[in-house]
Amino acid sequence: MSSSPTDPNAPKKTGRRPGKSRAEIEAEQAADAAQIAKTLENLMATFELDDFGDEDFSEDDFSEEEEEIKASKLPTPLHHAQLIAIIAWRELKPKLRAELAKDALAVSADCADAYVLLSLNANEPSRKRKLLEQALAAGERAIGAERFEKLRGKFWRILDTRPYMRALDELATVCASSGDLPGAIDCWTRMTTLDVSDALEARHLLATHLLIKGGAASHAALRRLFGRFPDDASAAFTYSRALLLFVERRGPSEPANRALMDAFTSNGYVADLMFESERMPEDLRDDGDPGGIDEADEYLQYARDLWDRTNGALEWMESLWLTFKPNVRKRR
């Protein structure tokens, strides 16, 4: 069966074409690059992009990828599709975002971001998972099996690996929200392995969910995770470290108490939100700054129930918080 000229899976021609001079080939490549730039310009003019359309990824994440693609001397259908996907990430309206994602897939079936974008519009968890599994498969094809292994540990820093990481991140969230705890833990673990610097901070949710899973193996994995990121003073790490000590020693201990005091120092809003009856004023919102209320909110989204069902843990936290709280108030 022959491939049509627009088939995204058609074999790509490379090298010098018979009968054409190097100058003619370079002129064609320049024309392809100009076409990609024109597509981007037209899309920017068509859609209202006053704000970034997804809260999990920043504009900076995509501007770097966009610039690298636009600078490419040998653009491919995947480059073209990825530019459309970047525009889709910036689009605020879900329907238009999905239309752009489908446009991207029509150009290249290897555009992982397009599948991720479509998953955001899916209502059923099973449909979301299927689309995200397609995204991972597309990402693997785009990177290539040999290069995938070569880049292990360096993902995210290499820009064309980012769509794969976004797919893995979204799949972890879908697994967690649908009750597939092992699946979520596997995704976050893979993220911290593929990107040893963990730019997307998968380690924070991984730490919380390893405690939720419990058991000796999960606790050992959590201690190894702490060892890999010894300077991480996030709420997720400091409170998880304290709770791990509490659980392993079957109640309060001097090491657990010190760890919980360190957690209060790192982010006292966690305890505030656990025990204060009044909701924190909106003007305290801080866009996720370390030690802020948004970080505390994010941590408690999954950890609140964990503390609540760990026998004696809430009472332990509250007793120490009542001692520590006046010092926190003075610093605010």
In the block, residue with structure tokens 């976004």: 166
Residue 292, both tokens: 């802020």
- Residue 220 placed within a domain: yes
> Per the structure, how many domains does the chain have?
1
Phi, psi of 6 (to 5 degrees): -100, 5
Closest CA to 112 of 120, 124, 104: 104
Q: Is 281 helix (H, G, I), strand (E, B) or coil?
A: coil
Radius of gyration of the chain (CA): 24
Q: Which segments of the chain does DSSP mark as H helices, in order?
A: 22-46, 59-70, 77-90, 94-107, 112-121, 125-143, 145-150, 162-177, 181-194, 202-213, 216-228, 235-248, 254-266, 269-275, 293-309, 313-331
- Residue 264 placed within a domain: yes
What pLDDT sits at residue 58? 54
What pLDDT sits at residue 325? 76
Residue 269, both tokens: 């809003």
Please state, in angstroms and rounded to a whole number, the distance separating the CA atoms of residues 259 and 255. 6
Residue 247, both tokens: 């659980």
In the block, residue with structure tokens 């079957």: 250
Give the number of C-alpha atoms closer than 13 A to the C-alpha of residue 35, restricted to the C-beta side.
13
Please state, in angstroms and rounded to a whole number, the distance separating the CA atoms of residues 322 and 15. 71
Q: What is the pLDDT of residues 254-278, one digit of tens each?
A: 999 999 999 999 999 999 999 875 4
What pLDDT sits at residue 276? 74
Please state, in angstroms and rounded to a whole number, the distance separating the CA atoms of residues 81 and 83. 5
- Residue 84 placed within a domain: no
Residue 21, both tokens: 């001079």
Q: Which domain range does residue 321 map to? A: 201-332
What pLDDT sits at residue 16? 42
* pLDDT tens, residue order, the chain (332 aa): 444 444 444 444 444 445 667 676 566 656 655 665 565 555 544 444 434 344 455 556 677 777 777 776 667 899 999 999 999 998 889 999 999 999 999 999 999 999 999 999 999 999 999 999 999 999 999 999 999 999 999 999 999 999 999 999 999 999 999 999 999 999 999 999 999 999 999 999 999 999 999 999 999 999 999 999 999 999 999 999 999 999 999 999 999 999 999 999 999 999 999 987 545 555 455 555 678 899 999 999 999 999 999 999 999 999 999 988 755 544 44
What pLDDT sits at residue 96? 92
Contact 80, 107 (CB under 8 A): yes
Please state, in angstroms and rounded to a whole number, the distance separating the CA atoms of residues 81 and 144. 17
- Residue 233 placed within a domain: yes
Looking at the whole model, is its pTM more than 0.85?
A: no
At 301, the amino acid letter reads Q
- Residue 38 placed within a domain: no
- Residue 55 placed within a domain: no
Contact 293, 280 (CB under 8 A): yes
- Residue 179 placed within a domain: no
Q: Is 157 helix (H, G, I), strand (E, B) or coil?
A: coil
Overall size of the chain counted in residues: 332
What pLDDT sits at residue 64? 77
In the block, residue with structure tokens 């525009």: 87
What pLDDT sits at residue 55? 47
- Residue 237 placed within a domain: yes
CA distances from 228 to 28, 195, 197, 231, 265 (A): 48, 12, 9, 9, 22
